[in-house]
Structure 1
Amino acid sequence: MLTGLLNLSCLGLGYIVLRNWIGAALCWAATAALLVLALPADVDGVPAGLLIGYGVFLLLVAADGARRGLRATLSLGASFRRLALPLAVVLLAVPAGGSLAYGAARDEAKEQALLERLSAADAQVKSADGLAFDKAEPILAKALDAYEDLGTNKAGSRAGKLVPARLDAYYESVSAPYRNKTYCEAIAPLKHLRGLDGTFDKELLGARPAKTDEPLAHSLYECGTSALGVYTATPAAEQSLNELYDTFPKSSHTTRVEPAVRAAIKTRTDALDSGTTPCDTTNELRTLRRSLQAVSDAALDGATREAKEAVQRGDFACGTDQFKDKDYDNAAKTMTEYAKEYPDSPQAAHARSIAIAAEIADEEPAAGKSLPPATVPGGSRMIMVVSNDGPGEVELLYTGPMTGKVTLKTCTTCTKYPGPILSQGKKIKACTGPSSKYPKATLLLPAGDYHFLQKRVSTGTSTAGDTKTSKAKIEPGYSYTNCLYVTSGF
């Protein structure tokens, strides 16, 4: 029996007493194999099958040792016999103590593995620094999964107890764009932090999501107002402002929007008065107006009307500036569009005059020396009768003290006159037939110098774009005639 107990020590001591060196060697080999497979301790521990096998082996060698001991004659002294049994019992503590020590080592290995997992999540958060948020978000999601699992399922571990501090650091890291005052970049990260309340463990998060309300409202305000009038802004002003009104209707930042919008309008309206770049300023006002029209909150209705009026004012200033800069083609387009878009404007008639003068000046630059007057001068008017001695309807544009245009119908019986080559230098005698033959228009013009541009539409004998410029001096007390005709060019 004693040798059986000694064999339970895992060291084959019973076999040593019996001098069964082969049995002892087998015990040593089995124990050594177990130690090689079990050490160092890891998270998963020793496979259960290995432990069961080793336990069965110990029971078998204990039973074998007891059997052999009953048959063997041991030459042991009385003192040894008295100590052998207590020694065997004490030696049983070796496997038990080893098991406890191994369990403690395994638990430490588990703690270290959890700490390593926590460190890996920390590294993921750090690696997302500086990335655009759409690229950083998938990386951050993996870190959050690790934090949540450690903080809930492994809450009692050393790593689990560190999760709240890590969440504080996570919020600090992800909200960095707000602290750096890059407000547009801060919106997506702050929305992410605020939205964790619906996807992450609420007990772990605590009050952290609610603390993002103020930074997010501030960022939406700053991003939205800074984008006013900026055509290329991303996100557009209306996107940020609509989100501010919808998400934080009672925020102090929401009440700041209307004054900021009015200030943006005034700044650009004042810039129109300086006349430096009125067309660029008008484009900004048009973009600003479009943004305000897309904002659903009624608080900006008044500012929207101001922006609309500012755009109208800017359109006129832009067309005027284009004319002064001798950009006659664009001036004509701008002022023609102005007259169509604002027919009830007091400046609509002047815009039409500028468009006409610009069209003439595009062909005859001398006609653009100065803007047409905003009002028609008073005083006497002189008659000018204009006749159409040519095929195709013709439009006559004129500018001087007075600007305007008339359209004369086609002369159905008229043809082109021979050009310089075919006429052999003979003087053209236009409009010499019966007066009733030629379509006519009568102009009443104040005295002064005028520039004319005739534009003829296409017919079978004339082509679209036939134009001709001329000028005349209208003096008081005289009447005038103007005959419009076409030559062949040969």
Structure 2
Amino acid sequence: MPSAPPPAPADPLRATAVALLNLSGLGLGYLLLRRWIPMAACLAATVVLLVVALPADADGVPGTALVLYAVLLLLAAVHGWFAGLRTRLVWPGQRPVALVLGVVLLAVPVGGALWYDSARHEAVERALLARLDRADRQVDAASGQDFGTARSGYRNALAVYRDLAVHHAGSRAAAQVPDRLKTYYTTVAAAYSHRDYCAAVEPLQFLRTVPDSMPKDQLGTLAHWPDDRLATSLYECGAQGLSTGGTDWVDRFGDLLSTFPDSGQAAKVVPAVDAAEKKAAKAVSGKDPCGAVKQLGTLNTQITQLSNGSGAEADGLGKVAGRAERSGNAGEYQCGVQQYRDGDYAQAQETMQQFVSDNPHDGNRDHARKIAIGAEVAQTLPAAGKKLPTTASGGGISVTVKNDSPDDITVLYTGPVTGSFTLKACGSCKAYSFASPLISGWEPCSDSGKNYPQRTISLPPGTTYFVHKPKNDSTATPGSDTAKLRYGYIYTECAYTTQTLGSTY
């Protein structure tokens, strides 16, 4: 007897049936040929693939695994074809039935692939929805922070929305992006809805940059949603700073005029600045004229700065700036009077001298000059500052002032009458020693051989305060005298210089 049955005649139809059955991935062709080891290998490869692939996720099956499995199925089909070419099948007896069965069972890998693709697609959708949800939570978390801290969170969420809209346009998550963007805009601009206009400026400026990265079809009307709100915030924040004396209102109004020059909010800038100037000018006559003058000076500088880059509004702003300067200059008079009455004589003198210089045609100029003289006298004789100098002049009492010093001197006096004049130096006079006034019988301006420069003025009765000071020596200590003038007397004042080591009097 032969050791094995003789091989069957070659049958390509049977071989094809075995190959098709092996393509199912279940090794059924080997089963019909009783090839248990190759069958087990096919089943093991299919199990490994299922373990790797299931459950379906967004990443799918690794490409290497798919390639290896496909190669294995092809090898099993080729090997099964050659093995079934001369080997009879255990079942079914008819070859066409096996062939049909092989074709039918091809639906197993094809159907599995289709099912897996659908499952993976759903996993991708769920993953995209999860990304969308995380971005939403990030926006919600950022809403409780100040914008400077929350900016990075808003940017990250926006990047997710953009990626979903651009790279996953057909997904369920991408379909929800337009609605999410509406929430995003209202959340970022929450300060505007709370009427916190200054805090709303930066977030609204940020929202105006969103169309640079987000497709316009996703934004719709949101593309211009921040514009009117930003214009309103810039105006309201600037108006608030203007009314409280801040400095950032110039930047706010400047941004408004440059970004939205034709807006209704921009048209309100000049009237707002004009009202602020008028209010400050009115305050010059109030309780704090010096503060009002300072504010007018600041306004002049700020409005001039704003007008330099304000386009169509430049002329109107320039006129307001000029009026602020004029109002501030005129207000120096009231400020100087207030300083004098408060006893700040040095500042009053400086203010009044500045007023005289700034306002050559003002009706208060002569009085301001008198007050400046009185303030200078009061710095040496504080009692002279008890009354505000008047513009009165003349009187019935003669007072002669002589200069017994080698320097030109300025004589200042205030009381019922205020004024000043200069006496030339006495060419033959010298400075006295510091001890000269202590010598018995010493008397300045008494040398009959000298021709003392002198001037006689007429003053009314009352107390007049005199101060003498070298005209060209700001370091010398002024001399002073308090004279109580009465009718029936002729008075003489003598200015002289005493000198000690390092000092002149």
Corresponding residue for 1:358?
375
**What CA distance in whole angstroms lies between the structure 2 residues aligned with 1:139 and 1:157?**
24
Q: Which runs of 5+ in 2 are unaligned?
A: 1-14, 308-312
Matches within 5 A, 1:204-353: 204-228=218-242, 232-233=246-247, 235=248, 237-275=249-287, 277-296=288-307, 297=313, 298-353=315-370
Kept after mapping to 2: 8 A contact 1:15/1:65: yes
Kept after mapping to 2: 8 A contact 1:354/1:371: yes
**What CA distance in whole angstroms lies between the structure 1 residues aligned with 2:396 and 2:428?**
32
Secondary structure in structure 1 of the residue aligned to 2:430 = coil
Name the amino acid aligned to 1:464. Answer: T
**What CA distance in whole angstroms lies between the structure 2 residues aligned with 1:329 and 1:130?**
54
Could you tell me how far 1:319 is from its partner in structure 2?
A: 1.9
Could you tell me how far 1:207 is from its partner in structure 2?
A: 2.3
Secondary structure in structure 2 of the residue aligned to 1:244 = helix
Corresponding residue for 2:419?
404
**What CA distance in whole angstroms lies between the structure 2 residues aligned with 1:303 and 1:367?**
40
Cα-to-partner distance string for 1:412-436 (whole Å, 9 max, x where unaligned):
432232334x665414310122475
Secondary structure in structure 1 of the residue aligned to 2:464 = strand
Kept after mapping to 2: 8 A contact 1:229/1:284: no
**What CA distance in whole angstroms lies between the structure 1 residues aligned with 2:243 and 2:369?**
28
Q: How many residues align?
A: 480
Corresponding residue for 1:414?
429
Q: 1:123 to 1:283 in 2, by over 3 A?
A: farther
Corresponding residue for 2:129?
115
Could you tell me how far 1:57 is from its partner in structure 2?
A: 1.0
Secondary structure in structure 2 of the residue aligned to 1:100 = helix
**What CA distance in whole angstroms lies between the structure 2 residues aligned with 1:108 and 1:100?**
12
Secondary structure in structure 2 of the residue aligned to 1:451 = strand
Matches within 5 A, 1:65-104: 65-76=80-91, 85-104=99-118
Could you tell me how far 1:380 is from its partner in structure 2?
A: 3.6
Corresponding residue for 1:180?
194
Q: 1:106 to 1:290 in 2, by over 3 A?
A: same
TM-score of the two chains, using structure 2 as the length reference: 0.84
**What CA distance in whole angstroms lies between the structure 2 residues aligned with 1:393 and 1:229?**
52
Name the amino acid aligned to 1:344. Answer: H
**What CA distance in whole angstroms lies between the structure 2 residues aligned with 1:227 and 1:147?**
37
Corresponding residue for 1:46?
61
Cα-to-partner distance string for 1:113-134 (whole Å, 9 max, x where unaligned):
3334334443454454466656
**What CA distance in whole angstroms lies between the structure 2 residues aligned with 1:216 and 1:435?**
86
Name the amino acid aligned to 1:253. Answer: Q
Cα-to-partner distance string for 1:230-253 (whole Å, 9 max, x where unaligned):
5543x2x33333443444444333
Kept after mapping to 2: 8 A contact 1:228/1:291: no
Secondary structure in structure 1 of the residue aligned to 2:221 = coil
Q: 1:365 to 1:8 in 2, by over 3 A?
A: same
Please point out which of 366, 371, 392 is paired with 1:376: 392
Name the amino acid aligned to 1:285. Answer: L
**What CA distance in whole angstroms lies between the structure 2 residues aligned with 1:247 and 1:435?**
83
Corresponding residue for 2:5?
none
**What CA distance in whole angstroms lies between the structure 1 residues aligned with 2:46 and 2:175?**
38
Kept after mapping to 2: 8 A contact 1:383/1:480: yes
Q: 1:231 to 1:365 in 2, by over 3 A?
A: same
**What CA distance in whole angstroms lies between the structure 1 residues aligned with 2:239 and 2:284?**
20
Name the amino acid aligned to 2:136. Answer: D
TM-score of the two chains, using structure 1 as the length reference: 0.86
Cα-to-partner distance string for 1:206-259 (whole Å, 9 max, x where unaligned):
2223333322222222122222265543x2x33333443444444333343344
Corresponding residue for 1:10?
25
Kept after mapping to 2: 8 A contact 1:195/1:209: no
**What CA distance in whole angstroms lies between the structure 2 residues aligned with 1:39 and 1:272?**
85
Could you tell me how far 1:161 is from its partner in structure 2?
A: 0.9
Could you tell me how far 1:159 is from its partner in structure 2?
A: 1.6
Q: 1:310 to 1:10 in 2, by over 3 A?
A: same
Please point out which of 458, 481, 486 is paired with 1:475: 486
Mean alpha-carbon deviation: is it higher for 180-189 or for 237-246?
Answer: 237-246
Could you tell me how far 1:290 is from its partner in structure 2?
A: 2.3
Corresponding residue for 1:455?
469
Kept after mapping to 1: 8 A contact 2:395/2:458: no
**What CA distance in whole angstroms lies between the structure 1 residues aligned with 2:407 and 2:498?**
13
Secondary structure in structure 2 of the residue aligned to 1:371 = coil
Name the amino acid aligned to 1:332. Answer: Q
Secondary structure in structure 1 of the residue aligned to 2:429 = coil
**What CA distance in whole angstroms lies between the structure 2 residues aligned with 1:246 and 1:255?**
12
Corresponding residue for 1:465?
476
Q: 1:344 to 1:424 in 2, by over 3 A?
A: closer
Could you tell me how far 1:65 is from its partner in structure 2?
A: 2.6
**What CA distance in whole angstroms lies between the structure 2 residues aligned with 1:128 and 1:435?**
95
Kept after mapping to 1: 8 A contact 2:216/2:223: no
CA RMSD of aligned residues (A): 3.1
**What CA distance in whole angstroms lies between the structure 2 residues aligned with 1:335 and 1:361?**
14
Corresponding residue for 2:402?
387
Kept after mapping to 2: 8 A contact 1:7/1:13: yes
Q: 1:131 to 1:398 in 2, by over 3 A?
A: farther
Could you tell me how far 1:172 is from its partner in structure 2?
A: 1.0
Corresponding residue for 2:41?
26
**What CA distance in whole angstroms lies between the structure 1 residues aligned with 2:86 and 2:333?**
124
Q: 1:40 to 1:404 in 2, by over 3 A?
A: farther
**What CA distance in whole angstroms lies between the structure 1 residues aligned with 2:264 and 2:246?**
28
Kept after mapping to 2: 8 A contact 1:229/1:286: no
Q: 1:387 to 1:130 in 2, by over 3 A?
A: farther
Q: 1:258 to 1:380 in 2, by over 3 A?
A: same
Kept after mapping to 2: 8 A contact 1:15/1:24: yes
Could you tell me how far 1:49 is from its partner in structure 2?
A: 4.2
**What CA distance in whole angstroms lies between the structure 2 residues aligned with 1:424 and 1:247?**
79
Kept after mapping to 2: 8 A contact 1:448/1:474: yes
Q: Which runs of 5+ in 1 are unaligned?
A: none
Kept after mapping to 2: 8 A contact 1:457/1:464: no
Secondary structure in structure 1 of the residue aligned to 2:285 = helix
Please point out which of 472, 483, 486 is paired with 2:497: 486
